[in-house]
Amino acid sequence: GNSVTQMEGPVTLSEEAFLTINCTYTATGYPSLFWYVQYPGEGLQLLLKATKADDKGSNKGFEATYRKETTSFHLEKGSVQVSDSAVYFCALSVLYSGGGADGLTFGKGTHLIIQP
Amino acid sequence: KAGVTQTPRYLIKTRGQQVTLSCSPISGHRSVSWYQQTPGQGLQFLFEYFSETQRNKGNFPGRFSGRQFSNSRSEMNVSTLELGDSALYLCASSFGPSEVLSYEQYFGPGTRLTVT
């Protein structure tokens, strides 16, 4: 089956620090990869995505590269801000060669805390 | 453009009762997916509807059901509630079905269901 593994945290960093949140996956079919962010009391927001190997998704200073050889999609940001404090979810969706797709499969989420 | 709305936002039910949750997608979106979020299991896919047809279903018992109306609004129903059904239920809408990966999913704020 499909699965996503990510560090759960909490991850605590100081403002302006470099951020990496690791995400690895197993999938049948042809996965597309996503990072979602959830702020307290809100639903999930799509942060970035990549739909094929070696694609790099980027948004709001965050980046992640689809690495098929290591089945990874690590999230990075060069300089974090207090406003980046949230829970980050890595997710995948699999397209099947015969058509159709599964719903999103999520990791457990990583709680990120940025201290001023 | 208004976002995805879910009603009610909070709900308390007793074991054995049934419950209906509602989701109104973004105007023009025809696909609605439902997810259950719990601290133990994380985010899990329930089902997806597109043009009033269920396209995908996650690994949940038959007590969980849903439907979609001609205006794309969706409801999910849980019958014979169990304590373990306590969760945040998230609805997500997209313009097209899940196999068209360029169609991003937009999440609502969720309905917090507590079963006592």
At residue A35, the pLDDT reads 96
At residue B102, the pLDDT reads 59
pLDDT-derived band at A94, boundaries 50, 70, 90? confident
CB contact under 8 A, A101 and B58: no
pLDDT-derived band at B103, boundaries 50, 70, 90? low
Q: Are the CB atoms for B52 and B70 separated by under 8 Å?
A: yes
Interface probe for B, chosen from A102, A110, A111 (most Cβ of B below 10 Å), is A102
- Cα distance between residue B61 and residue A87, in whole Å: 28
Least-confidence region, from A92-101, A102-111, B8-17: A92-101
Strands B111-115 and B87-94: antiparallel
* Residue A9, pLDDT above cutoff 90: no
CA angle B7, B8, B12 (to 5 degrees): 150
Phi, psi of A44 (to 5 degrees): -85, 145
Asked if the C-beta of B84 comes within 8 angstroms of chain A's C-beta atoms, the answer is: no
Nearest to A104 among B45, B47, B106 (CB): B45
Q: Where do we find the tokens 């951020």?
A: A19
At residue B15, the pLDDT reads 98
Interface probe for A, chosen from B5, B23, B99, B104 (most Cβ of A below 10 Å), is B99
Phi, psi of B94 (to 5 degrees): -145, 165
At residue B2, the pLDDT reads 78
* Summary mean pLDDT of chain B: 92
* End-to-end alpha carbon distance in chain B: 37
Give the mean pLDDT of B40-53: 92
CB contact under 8 A, A109 and B43: yes
At residue A100, the pLDDT reads 64
At residue B95, the pLDDT reads 83
Q: What is the nearest CA distance from A101 to chain B, expressed in angstroms?
A: 5
Residues constituting chain A: 116
pLDDT-derived band at A59, boundaries 50, 70, 90? very high
* Residue A15, pLDDT above cutoff 80: yes
- Cα distance between residue A54 and residue A80, in whole Å: 24
